[in-house]
Amino acid sequence: MLDNISRTQRVLRYRDNDKVISKIMRGMPYYEVEKQEQVGEESENLVIRGECLSACAYLKEQGIKVDLVYIDPPFASGADYAKKINIRRNPKLAEKIKKAEEELEIEELKEFEETMYGDIWQKEDYLNWMYENLMAIKSILSESGTIYLHIDGKIGHYVKILMDEVFGEENFRNEIIWHYDIGTAPKTDFKRKHDTIFRYSKNHEEIVFNIITINAKNEDRYDNVDDNGRKYMVRGDTGKIVYSDEGQKEDDVWTYYKSDEFRTLNSMAKERTEIGYSTQKPEALVQRIVNASSNEFIENEDGSKRKMIVADFFGGSGVTAKVANDLGRKFIHADIGINSIQTTRDRLVAAGANFQVLEIKDGVSLFRNPQQTMDKLAKLIPGLQQKVPGVGKFWFGALQDSKLGTVPVYVPNLIDGSEKVLDIPAVNRIINEELQKLDINAQKAIVYYVDVDDRKALEKFIKDNNATQTTIELKDLKEILHAIVVEDEVETKTTQTKESFEVEIVKFVSDRLNQKINDFNEKGNLQAINKGKKFSPIIISEEGLELIEYLSLDCENAEGVWTSSSEIKIDKLGYISINGQKTKDFWNGKISADKKPLRLKIRNISGDETIKVFE
Ligand SMILES: C[S@@+](CC[C@H](N)C(=O)[O-])C[C@H]1O[C@@H](n2cnc3c(N)ncnc32)[C@H](O)[C@@H]1O
């Protein structure tokens, strides 16, 4: 039988990958970028709120190339990542609480959850999205640059094929196994205790690489001791003497609990950011990558030197930026979620870093992050029903109209940024494929867009090419999106003393949070009734100060860029950090600055920001 194997040439394809190629040919959308804040001294370090694609487009336009990229994108793991939200202590009650401290343990502090980002994808959609991101990253990676992509065993092998295609098989350098010691033991499988990190260089001639050595893994092998008390072994094959304290070249299996350097991972708890990013990676892991594949400086062609740039376009809690800064590299952090930007900003402030905060203005007022915005949208389009029979998953849902019957509604998926621009190929797909696939007789369909190049041209295209009976109405999604983002309200009292200006927060009201808390209480109550248990609801005080996580007084505004002169961050136990420095004090509901404050910025415990400008 084996003699009869016939080989046919197979081309690896996955569903819809031709659409990605056509999207890439159409180009990346490029949006305006606004500088939000300067932290510390003028610097080229960047914290960018925006998608990986848009951040790369911005760097490309600015002619910025990066030398090392570490990314840890969503793994398509099927999980919804959630942020734990902790109600802070009410400063008005701080004194009382201080006394009752012993009884009031952490578990009593009320917390609830909020989706940070969804990681639920169809495999094909995920790979298409990843392909675009990799293409974008490649276009801003310097010639001697390296990319490390952190992924898991479920999807990693597919992603490697994409990387081979984008970066070239000849540039594949390592598949690193990061072997950790956390996680549960399934009953019918081996424990899953590793992630994979693919390392590719931009080309295979100019590679920046520093060998990493680790301390002896197996002390028993060093069975000789020299006159100075140093342990050594004699290599059987070469007769070479190897000392135990010399270190060994690290291989591609990074087992954290077997090397000294990684043993520090046990202290990961200390690094944990307030927000509790469940996917937060340890600094030691990224340190090793930064040390191996970058130096502080690199020589330009003309012999001058420049600092190397380390970038992370799925930056999360800011581990890469923090490590790069510690090691004297320049850094670029990008992430789509507001919580990531805030966590990273605060982490870098505490580390004394200098950087700019930029925001990519892509016309979308996101409600915290794309996932939460999509969740909200379903409720905001009046009458919209999701999962309507006969209307496939391409459509966001449908409306029921008394005259027109079922009206399918298309909404671009904000999680896949490239869908935001409605262009002719996208409309072509709607009229020539998706309308025909409907199992209902639709007289009308509504197509929402965030961005169009030329609405008239689109309308003409529809008129000339729509062979179906369905009329298409184009609608601007931004109008609905703007309605989502409502600011919280704050009442303040300012007093001026000889030395400083003091602003007292008298009252803080957040409808968004109140709604969330009400939902939480209702659900909790219902569950408790069903289980015959008692439920103690979250009750927010009249002043509402326990809903505040951070506040700053901005006293300078140079050419529209704000600089905070004084800032307070309240941790989940109620202790405050002032200008990045931790204290053992509780917040007293006030903030002061030396200069006259121009505006007050408040971040609530879910990450929504509210700004009050002083007259
Ligand atoms: C696995 S987490 C990264 C964790 C990070 N390595 C750390 O140690 O904290 C993935 C991050 O990607 C972000 N993200 C998802 N889609 C994105 C996109 N298109 N562009 C930029 N960031 C995105 C999410 O908001 C999330 O913070």
Which ligand 1 atom sits nearest the alpha carbon of residue 318? 9
Mutate to test the pocket of ligand 1, among 70, 312, 314 (most ligand atoms within 8 A of CB): 314
Above pLDDT 70, what percent of the chain?
A: 82
CA of 500 to the centre of ligand 1 (A): 40
489-496: strand order across its sheet: 489-496, 501-509, 590-593
Q: Quick check: 375 and 512 in contact, CB under 8 A?
A: no
**pLDDT < 70 positions in the chain:** 1-30, 76-85, 92-121, 183, 216-219, 256-270, 272-278, 363-366, 368, 483-486
Rounded to whole angstroms, the Cα distance separating 312 from 349 reads 18
Rounded to whole angstroms, the Cα distance separating 241 from 218 reads 16
DSSP track, 194-208: EEEEEEEESSSSS--
pLDDT score at 119: 60
Main-chain dihedrals φ then ψ at residue 371, nearest 5 degrees: -60, -50
Nearest CA to ligand 1 atom 16: 336
Q: Fill in the DSSP letter of residue 468.
A: S
Rounded to whole angstroms, the Cα distance separating 422 from 412 reads 8
Mutate to test the pocket of ligand 1, among 117, 126, 373, 413 (most ligand atoms within 8 A of CB): 117
Specify the pTM.
0.77
Nearest CA to ligand 1 atom 20: 51
Residue count of the chain: 615
Mutate to test the pocket of ligand 1, among 335, 342, 371, 373 (most ligand atoms within 8 A of CB): 335
CA of 555 to the centre of ligand 1 (A): 32
Q: Fill in the DSSP letter of residue 385.
A: B
Token pair recorded at residue 23 = 């999207």
Which ligand 1 atom sits nearest the alpha carbon of residue 133? 19
Dump pLDDT digits (tens) for 126-137: 888 899 899 999
Rounded to whole angstroms, the Cα distance separating 204 from 211 reads 17
Ligand 1 site residues (CB inside 6 A) read 51-52, 72-74, 117, 277, 279-281, 313-314, 316-317, 319, 334-337, 340, 369, 417
Dump pLDDT digits (tens) for 422-441: 888 889 999 999 999 999 98
CA of 46 to the centre of ligand 1 (A): 16
CA of 78 to the centre of ligand 1 (A): 15
pLDDT score at 609: 86
pLDDT score at 422: 87
Q: Quick check: 315 and 325 in contact, CB under 8 A?
A: no
Which ligand 1 atom sits nearest the alpha carbon of residue 150? 6
Main-chain dihedrals φ then ψ at residue 411, nearest 5 degrees: -130, 130
Token pair recorded at residue 351 = 């580390």
CA of 73 to the centre of ligand 1 (A): 5
